[in-house]
Amino acid sequence: MKRIAVYSYLYMKVVISPFLNPGQAKLRDRGQKFWDWVKPDIHCRYKDERAADGSMINVQVRTVASGSIELFVGVYTTNGAMLFEESYNAPLGQTMTLAMEWGLEKAHSFLASSSVALTAINKTGALPRAAARKPT
């Protein structure tokens, strides 16, 4: 029963993002990097941010049994489509707080380097997998 509660909590906190639109939850299209990284039985801290252009940033850090710190960085469009996902091992001796700050800097630098592409995606509303959507 405890495992079901952990999975339910993880699903609500990690997969569904109620911060997108108040009162309305949207799903993020998580990539394979996220699913390879996630382990629901390990405690993690996370931070969600919304960039000025509406893009979403998700950074998660955790300490594994060996004492090392692992980091996940994800950037998503306003529609929840994945733009960037990567996982990292923090250098030895680095705290979870410093790793979180480094991950946020990495996400912001990605957004700054690809702001032209993000503007085009957000203006058209098209997702990279447009074939999966019905034409309107």
Per-residue model confidence as pLDDT tens for the chain (136 residues) = 555 544 544 554 554 444 444 444 456 788 888 888 888 888 889 999 998 888 899 999 999 888 889 999 999 988 888 999 999 998 878 899 999 999 999 999 999 888 645 455 455 444 444 444 445 5
In angstroms, rounded to a whole number, what is the distance separating the alpha carbons of residues 51 and 30?
Answer: 18
- The reported pTM is 0.63
- How many whole angstroms from its chain centre is CA 1? 27
Q: Helix, strand or coil for residue 80?
A: coil
How distant, in Å, are the alpha carbons of 72, 73, 89, 96, 120 from that of 60? 5, 7, 12, 9, 28
Cβ atoms of residues 106 and 60 within 8 Å: no
> What residues does each domain of the chain span?
2-132
Q: What pLDDT shows up at residue 43?
A: 86
